[in-house]
Amino acid sequence: MTLGVQTYGVLKGMLDGKNEQGQAVYLLFCALVGSKDVLFLETTGSVEPLDPALPWKRFLDVLRDRREGDVPSFFSFAASQMETFLLDQNLLPQTQKHGNVKTLEHALTRFLGERLALKAVGMVKAEDPSPEDVQAVLEEKKAREEAQFRQEEQGEEGEAPALAAPAAPHLVVLRCQPLMDPVRGVPLHDLKVGDEVLAALPEDSFFFGLFRNQNPTFDGVVAAKVTGIKTSETGSAQVDLYLSEGILGALCLSGNVRVRVPQKESLPEEGGSPRGLPPLFLGLVGLGVALLAAVLFLLFR
């Protein structure tokens, strides 16, 4: 459907992926896009497939229902990564402009394989929406933007915002195992937001395998910044951690425990070479200096 200078269409799809254990991961998306912008994009992970050949409104309704249900954390994380990839790479307007859904399918399956270690098959369908549907979405988008503008104005004037800030989409919270250090660790009551602590990912989680695929030497231990601390009347506490984009961690602690923290590297001794620079690197630097001196000698002798 053409409106103004843009041609709008619906792109909907399902990525049928499998992890190394053979477990199926279905990723769904539905978008109303023009040749220059994206009016909306909604995604979710699902434990069941959904045929993209369904009419787009029905497909979108089922997608939303499944997103509101019990979605495994890895599925939500994978959907958020797919959504970010689609928007960052501007793939949807390009597909709408050129009309080649196969290129989009190949880009998505390659991304999921490289980023999430999923062997996936993509199925993308295009559909023409009615002029009334496009107009309704445009009006809804304009209303949201106006409400957001009013909210920002009220915030500048020091008034309470009219609308609550939307929750971050597809935010995954992964329960981690705390690492203790009774000697050099930081006491629980001394922890504060911004501190960095060490935690262990559960070996049976999808994320452990994902990080292991990216780094074969990964042992499950991660360094993460503390983003929040919630204490209870019984003295126990939940420590919230930032692990990665879209992934938070949670540590449950109680009592007078000391949490292990990353140890700062000691400064290099005076006269010694900086730590972390390998001998080969230093040798190449020395060789470069010697070659430069030789060239200057030949030029100016």
Q: What is the reported pLDDT for 287?
A: 41
Q: What is the reported pLDDT for 211?
A: 74
d(CA 26, CA 50): 8
Q: 23, 24, 96, 31: which is closest to 60 by C-alpha?
A: 31
d(CA 236, CA 230): 9
How many alpha carbons lie under 13 Å from residue 301 in its C-beta half-sphere?
6
One digit per residue, pLDDT tens: the chain, 301 residues? 555 546 889 999 999 998 777 888 999 999 999 888 898 899 999 999 999 999 999 999 999 999 988 888 778 888 888 998 999 999 999 999 998 999 999 999 998 888 888 889 999 999 999 888 888 888 887 887 778 777 777 765 554 444 333 444 445 677 888 888 888 888 888 889 999 999 888 776 667 777 777 778 888 888 889 998 888 877 788 898 988 777 788 888 887 788 999 876 544 444 443 333 344 333 443 444 344 444 444 444 5
Q: In 10 A of CB 139, how many CB atoms? A: 10
**Three-state SS sequence of the chain:** CEECCEECEEEEEEEEEECCCCCEEEEEEEEEECCCCEEEEEEEEECCCCCCCCCHHHHHHHHHHHHHCCCCHHHHHHHHHHHHHHHHCCHHHHHHHHCCHHHHHHHHHHHHHHHHCCEEEEEEEEECCCHHHHHHHHHHHHHHHHHHHHHHHHHHCCCCCCCCCCCCCCCEEEECEECECCCCCEEHHHCCCCCEEEEECCCCCHHHHHHHHHCCCCCCEEEEEEEEEEECCCCCEEEEEEEECCEEEEEEECCCCEECCCCCCCCCCCCCCCCCCCHHHHHHHHHHHHHHHHHHHHHHC
pTM assigned to the model:
0.58
Give me 226's structure tokens: 């503390």
Q: 200, 260, 191: which is closest to 228 by C-alpha?
A: 191
Q: What is the reported pLDDT for 293?
A: 44
d(CA 216, CA 12): 35
For 261-296, the pLDDT digits (tens) are 987 654 444 444 333 334 433 344 344 434 444 444
For 184-200, the pLDDT digits (tens) are 888 888 889 999 999 88
Q: For residues 86 and 79, is the Cβ–Cβ distance under 8 A?
A: no
Q: What is the reported pLDDT for 23?
A: 83
